[in-house]
Structure 1
């Protein structure tokens, strides 16, 4: 009898603990941004979304006007030690080298083949443009897409030894899904090549090709063996960086965003233009502060320099994401 009463008492006392556990599980399941640390940054995001989606509220925005734009390099995936598209181009030079023995004595190709980063840096912008032109032209768009897909399957990042398209930010994946669940249409607006990004954007981010705005080269229509194709030429058609970003949004999206995320001075004009629109606006900047899990860099970086935009964002009260303190995790688990 005593044992029975003790067991009943223990069962009774365990009920609050069980309820607490169930509540904790329910909260975890309903949190749309579990990789974001609770605090002002996460609250700024959820408060904004709640405000613009509340039907009848003062800041309500119709679904067709809920446009969200994200830079790619350094905002949705990493960009160090070099932009991933440049890593692709350097690997292409090595793959093409057997058909070009003259490259062994010709810069900037000589430095690429020798792994001479100083020599490559000495080639400057002119040398890099030559590399990009050679590795991104002279083929059809379908051939290029196949080359990019093969590279993404086989190439590995030098620090993390993972495929480049696995180095996407888990918190941003959650944010993209959260926005779409609340009626937003999500776009990439990046200085990267539009066809390069379309090779992985839908699989990596859930963003279809038609919602990717990027830099573009000239393509030429041809008939090859009676088959219509588009051939990539070495001429540049559009640079989607700096002041080119708001122009690209206007030309290819046709609506001013109400939500914009970037990470560098190259995104500043896009953020400014978004902020200048009427009604509620959200402007976010990813500040790379985590040298252990990713990288720490800003004003003096050769990649993703964040200087003027950081000052402006601080002065205007934009949401600055401190990667080290605001993200509980950086990358998704390795596959």
Structure 2
């Protein structure tokens, strides 16, 4: 890791050899081909001063979905796994949960059954595990969980279940004057707990689903307490709304992986001037999972059908990515 000493940037010898390669190919984990070429060409065109497609830096807004786009989403959304782990931790203080759904099924080790109650069950679960605390307390809880929890299949920390090619894309866009945002159906406070460290995206550039909050003074100290009431569901039609309310500019570059991202891609690419829509299709059953239309998590159907008509570029994970996760051996 590079260090600053006396105002001088010190770079370890083992990194020096990689610098020419990084400069020559910022998307080195992507397979050479049409998908990679389309991304590189778009970025080059909109950043070429004096060119016909030039877009000034203040308008270079890129939005990324999180679950299934920046990190994996199987076997369940990771935030949902966190909530279920919290139920188990909190259970001794809630003996009534042993006979109350969705908590009873979670405690019995049957998360699928717990979710059979649909949206009401999910909201009950989130209210119990995500509210009644300050935002800082919640983020501390998430950070503590991320430090110890491991993915059930890969046995890696969840923060290692990110997609290396997407990390490179984020860096490439920022190196070319783009401002990168996460626009996710996941909880905004949950994502803010790790977005800067993992993605290089600061908290104020995260848009997500949220609970209402209330200003309270406790022991003479002002704080914001999360309430068990919905503020915004940042999914499907809610994504353009979240972009409008919290970013204030229409993006020119949007990346998603499911029908939950369809409206965000439409909103982005139907604007005037150069636009780019990117859709990740999970096709790699060997290194990750292959799923689309029939998946309970990250269902991709209508958006995949519309992609050719809308001019969206579709990433075939199996063919377009040389590696998927950072921990893969090259």
Q: When the two structures are superposed, what TM-score results if normalisation uses the length of structure 2?
A: 0.92
- Give the root-mean-square deviation of aligned CA atoms: 1.5
Equivalent-residue separation in structure 2 for 1:276 and 1:101 (angstroms): 52
2:141 match: 147
1:187 match: 181
Give the secondary-structure state (helix, strand or coil) at the position aligned to 1:131. helix
Equivalent-residue separation in structure 2 for 1:183 and 1:296 (angstroms): 34
**Residue 208 in structure 1 maps to residue 202 in structure 2:** yes
- Residue deviations 1:179-229, cap 9 Å, x none? 000000000001111000000000000000000000110110001010001
CA drift of 1:165 comes to 1.1
2:72 match: 78
Q: 2:275 aligns with which of 277, 281, 291?
A: 281
Task: Tell me which protein shows more helix as a share of its residues.
Answer: 1
**Residue 40 in structure 1 maps to residue 37 in structure 2:** no
1:3 match: none
2:3 match: none
2:25 match: 31
2:155 match: 161
- Residue deviations 1:135-165, cap 9 Å, x none? 0001111111110110000111111111111
- Return structure 1 stretches of 4+ with deviation > 2 angstroms: 24-29, 121-125, 314-317
Segment of structure 1 superposing worse, 114-123 or 268-277: 114-123
**Residue 311 in structure 1 maps to residue 305 in structure 2:** yes
2:116 match: 122
Q: 1:251 aligns with which of 216, 233, 245?
A: 245
CA drift of 1:116 comes to 1.6
**Residue 66 in structure 1 maps to residue 67 in structure 2:** no
**Residue 329 in structure 1 maps to residue 329 in structure 2:** no
Give the secondary-structure state (helix, strand or coil) at the position aligned to 1:123. helix
1:6 match: none
2:191 match: 197
CA drift of 1:27 comes to 5.1
Extract unaligned runs of 5+ from structure 2: 1-17
**Residue 268 in structure 1 maps to residue 262 in structure 2:** yes
Extract unaligned runs of 5+ from structure 1: 1-23
2:47 match: 53
CA drift of 1:317 comes to 2.5
CA drift of 1:28 comes to 6.2
CA drift of 1:25 comes to 9.3
**Residue 98 in structure 1 maps to residue 115 in structure 2:** no
Equivalent-residue separation in structure 2 for 1:58 and 1:277 (angstroms): 17
Give the secondary-structure state (helix, strand or coil) at the position aligned to 2:309. helix
Q: When the two structures are superposed, what TM-score results if normalisation uses the length of structure 1?
A: 0.91
Residues 143 and 313 from structure 1, CA distance in 2 versus in 1: closer, same or farther, beyond 3 angstroms? Answer: same
- Listed as ranges, the matches of 1:1-12 within 5 Å are none
2:166 match: 172
Equivalent-residue separation in structure 2 for 1:185 and 1:82 (angstroms): 29
2:291 match: 297
Equivalent-residue separation in structure 2 for 1:325 and 1:186 (angstroms): 25
Segment of structure 1 superposing worse, 101-110 or 217-226: 101-110
Equivalent-residue separation in structure 2 for 1:200 and 1:332 (angstroms): 16
Residues 28 and 234 from structure 1, CA distance in 2 versus in 1: closer, same or farther, beyond 3 angstroms? Answer: closer
Q: 1:112 aligns with which of 97, 106, 114?
A: 106
Residues 226 and 334 from structure 1, CA distance in 2 versus in 1: closer, same or farther, beyond 3 angstroms? Answer: farther
